[in-house]
Amino acid sequence: MVPPMPILDPVVEAYLDEHRTPPDALLVEMEAHGARDRVPIVPPETGALLHALARTAGARRIVEVGTAIGVSTVYLARALPADGELVSFEIDPQRHAAARDYLGRSGAAARVDLRLQDAREGLAELDEGWDLAFIDAAKGEYATYFDLLVPRLRPRGLIVADNALMGGTIASGEPNDIWGDEQIRGGRAFLDAFLAHPSLDATVLAVGDGVAIGVKRD
Ligand SMILES: C[S@@+](CC[C@H](N)C(=O)[O-])C[C@H]1O[C@@H](n2cnc3c(N)ncnc32)[C@H](O)[C@@H]1O
């Protein structure tokens, strides 16, 4: 196995790291938790992108698949207006409990509905009219979340999927310590379907681990 490949040139990545607004104390604590317990969480550049997308879309209703300990949840929830709502699904009880604790300290808890539920069930029960959907859970289930979410977005709503480039393996086709052959095959099929979806104007950005973004057509 070859080690994970940075998507960006390391010089560019270092420059961006130095010039980004640093995460606040709560997010620093959550990042340390993620590193200590090997919980995969979005890096700060992806968190900042999620926040900017939610603000730009004027999002009032956000749905997230894969809370983990709540890092991306904090970035998204802080972008909502006071009467906004964010529903986030997680199946791991320990991570769900940790997210509840952190969200309680984030200043955005009143807007967040953390659900300990398999997203495949939870999404099927959701109504329509969501402004932004963020997918970041089991890679083999991305297509299922996607198929459940696209019809539930409002026109011009955003659908965003993390790990779209899987550390560069989607492009290289070479497995590494994190992504194996089967995941690369699945990831490529998912990204192709995402980018070609007839209801979306879609693109993919080399931010973090790769972020696919689709805007639902009117
Ligand atoms: C990559 S982590 C999420 C990281 C989080 N979005 C962040 O950046 O802070 C993926 C999470 O999805 C959860 N998960 C996996 N399959 C799920 C499912 N079917 N429904 C809900 N959560 C799921 C896992 O337990 C894991 O904690």
State pLDDT tens for residues 93-141. 999 999 999 999 999 999 999 999 999 999 999 999 999 999 999 999 9
Ligand 1: nearest atom to the Cα of 95: 27
Q: Is the C-beta atom of 211 inside 6 A of ligand 1?
A: no
Dmax (CA) of the chain: 48
Q: Is the C-beta atom of 34 inside 6 A of ligand 1?
A: no
**Which residue has its alpha carbon closest to ligand 1 atom 9?**
71
Contact call for residues 135 and 149 (beta carbons, < 8 A): yes
Q: Is the C-beta atom of 118 inside 6 A of ligand 1?
A: yes
Read off the pLDDT band of 8 (50, 70, 90): confident
Query: Is the pTM of the predicted complex or chain greater than 0.85?
Result: yes
Pocket test of ligand 1: the residue of 30, 39, 67, 87 to mutate, having most ligand atoms within 8 Å of its CB, is 67
Pairing of strands 200-205, 211-216: antiparallel
Q: What are 80-89's pLDDT values in tens digits? A: 999 999 999 9
Measured between alpha carbons, how far is 205 from 100 in angstroms, rounded to an integer? 30
Predicted confidence (pLDDT) at residue 3 exceeds the cutoff of 70? no
Single-letter amino acid, residue 141: E
**Which residue has its alpha carbon closest to ligand 1 atom 7?**
41
Of the candidates 98, 95, 61, which has an alpha carbon nearest to the alpha carbon of residue 76?
61
Average pLDDT on 2-7 reads 62
Q: What are 129-173's pLDDT values in tens digits? A: 999 999 999 999 999 999 999 999 999 999 999 999 999 999 999
Measured between alpha carbons, how far is 71 from 47 in angstroms, rounded to an integer? 8
Q: Is the C-beta atom of 142 inside 6 A of ligand 1?
A: no
Measured between alpha carbons, how far is 62 from 86 in angstroms, rounded to an integer? 5
**Which residue has its alpha carbon closest to ligand 1 atom 16?**
138
Kindly give the distance from the C-alpha atom of residue 162 to the centroid of ligand 1, in angstroms, as a whole number. 11
Predicted confidence (pLDDT) at residue 1 exceeds the cutoff of 80? no
Q: Is the C-beta atom of 129 inside 6 A of ligand 1?
A: no
Model pLDDT, residue 210: 96
> 10 Å Cβ neighbour count for 121?
12
**Which residue has its alpha carbon closest to ligand 1 atom 26?**
68
> CA 85, 86, 87, 91 torsion: positive or negative?
negative
Read off the pLDDT band of 5 (50, 70, 90): low
Measured between alpha carbons, how far is 122 from 144 in angstroms, rounded to an integer? 12
Measured between alpha carbons, how far is 39 from 45 in angstroms, rounded to an integer? 17
Contact call for residues 157 and 128 (beta carbons, < 8 A): no
Q: Is the C-beta atom of 178 inside 6 A of ligand 1?
A: no
**Which residue has its alpha carbon closest to ligand 1 atom 1?**
40
Segments in 37-180 forming alpha helices (H): 44-56, 71-77, 93-104, 119-125, 142-149, 169-172
